[in-house]
Amino acid sequence: MLLTLLQRCGRSALTAPTARTLQAVNRRYSSSNMAKRVAVVLAGCGVYDGSEIHEASAVLVHLSRGGARVNMFAPNIDQMHVVNHLKGEPSEEKRNVLVESARLARGNIQDLSKLSVKEHDAVIFPGGFGAAKNLCTWAVQGKDCSVNEEVKAVLQAFHGEGKPIGLCCISPVLAAKVFPGCEVTVGVENDEKCPGTADTAAAINQLGCKHVSKSVGESHVDQKNKLVTTAAFMCEAPIHEIFDGIGSMVQGVLKLA
């Protein structure tokens, strides 16, 4: 009798953990199969002439936390100019956007021309002046700017496939230029904490798009166009609030993907 009882208890003790282990394995297997494939497009390295480093890092951290598989890309072109970030002044040297972006990507980056929309579920563009200088000419021409042809093709391809596009800081102007009638945010208008928002928002509206005021910790979702935008460093805020806002944007992109 005692032997039978011990055998039953042994079977029960083994069965429950085994079942739980199998369930955990199945969840991990299912999760890996469902991982979203996200392309991140960089514009150099450094706030004044490339991608804003904190924004790019925040995007990657939140994508990692969301279980996404990430590939990074950048156009293989010269930067508009190079800025000495210590002095805040342009220098005479020349740098390549793809080569500089490789600094942020730890070398794991590809030419933007190789980005396949079929192989990705979403695309995200961090901000920084590089988005307005290298990916387009907004920094010098405002609403009359032109968008780099490869960047424009990527935006149109994801939009055409109904796949979400995430943009932060100044990069939402790319969407405003390429998708007339879309909705984006670059912060809160007429707020001293967002000193650059009012003029940018006005230009966005002049392009026939709608600017939606959102605080730095929020994001805006244009459901029709599957655009998710957030202000990031367009506003003067503690870095953790900017990090949270980018997290809101990334979550919105993954939810739509």
Looking at the DSSP assignment, which residues form a beta bridge with residue 96? 78
d(CA 40, CA 109) in angstroms, rounded, equals 10
221 forms beta bridges with: 228
CA–CA separation, 237 and 193 (whole Å): 7
Nearest to 132 by CA among 177, 180, 70, 86: 177
- The residue from 169, 182, 194, 235 that is catalytic is 169
Q: Degrees (nearest 5) of the Cα angle 147, 73, 102? A: 115
Quote the tokens at residue 160. Answer: 């055409």
Torsion angle (degrees, nearest 10) of CA 192, 193, 195, 198: -80
How far apart, in Å, do the first and last CA atoms of the chain sit? 58
Residues comprising the chain, all counted: 257
How many Å is the Cα radius of gyration of the chain? 22
**Residue carrying the six token digits 């990074």:** 72
Does the active-site annotation cover 169? yes
| Nearest to 166, CA basis, from 63, 254, 253 | 253
How far apart CA 77 and CA 97 sit, in angstroms, is: 6
Please report where in the chains the tokens 């945010």 appear, as a residue: 185
Which active-site residues does the annotation give?
169
